[in-house]
Amino acid sequence: EAQVTQNPRYLITVTGKKLTVTCSQNMNHEYMSWYRQDPGLGLRQIYYSMNVEVTDKGDVPEGYKVSRKEKRNFPLILESPSPNQTSLYFCASSFRYGRDETQYFGPGTRLLVL
């Protein structure tokens, strides 16, 4: 089954404790992104990647890191989490076929930083 998976789905942590949220896709997509979703603000892009070893900042990259060492994986790293990073996080992957583009989202990771 074609899918984007994220782990963990739920995470409670404390300020300053480094954490990694994994994202993996099995569709051989070149493009991957991370978003955060907050009430009233919608989805905001954190980072994206156009291919292996090619990443760039989205709208809200502060406090986050990413890496793309393999095509299928795109982990999100919070080196020193803070309470304002409490949010719902989504990973997405996409391909482009001619003019059409389809984005597939993962199930989400709900993070609480105390």
Partner 1 sequence: EDQVTQSPEALRLQEGESSSLNCSYTVSGLRGLFWYRQDPGKGPEFLFTLYSAGEEKEKERLKATLTKKESFLHITAPKPEDSATYLCAVQAWGGGYNKLIFGAGTRLAVHP
Q: Min. distance of Cβ 18 from partner 1 in angstroms?
A: 25
Residue 63 or 108 with smaller CB distance to partner 1: 108
Residue 16 or 59 with smaller CB distance to partner 1: 59
CA distances to 42, 44, 59, 74, 108 from 38, rounded to whole Å, are 6, 8, 14, 21, 12
Q: Catalog residues that contact partner 1 under the rule CB under 8 A.
A: 4, 31, 33, 35, 40-45, 48, 50, 56, 58-59, 90, 92, 94, 99-108
Residue 3 or 82 with smaller CB distance to partner 1: 3
Q: Min. distance of Cβ 73 from partner 1 in angstroms?
A: 17
Q: Min. distance of Cβ 102 from partner 1 in angstroms?
A: 5
CA atoms within a 13 Å half-sphere pointing along the CA-CB vector of 74: 32
CA atoms within a 13 Å half-sphere pointing along the CA-CB vector of 76: 31
User: Is the peptide bond preceding residue 39 cis, with omega within 30 degrees of 0?
Assistant: no
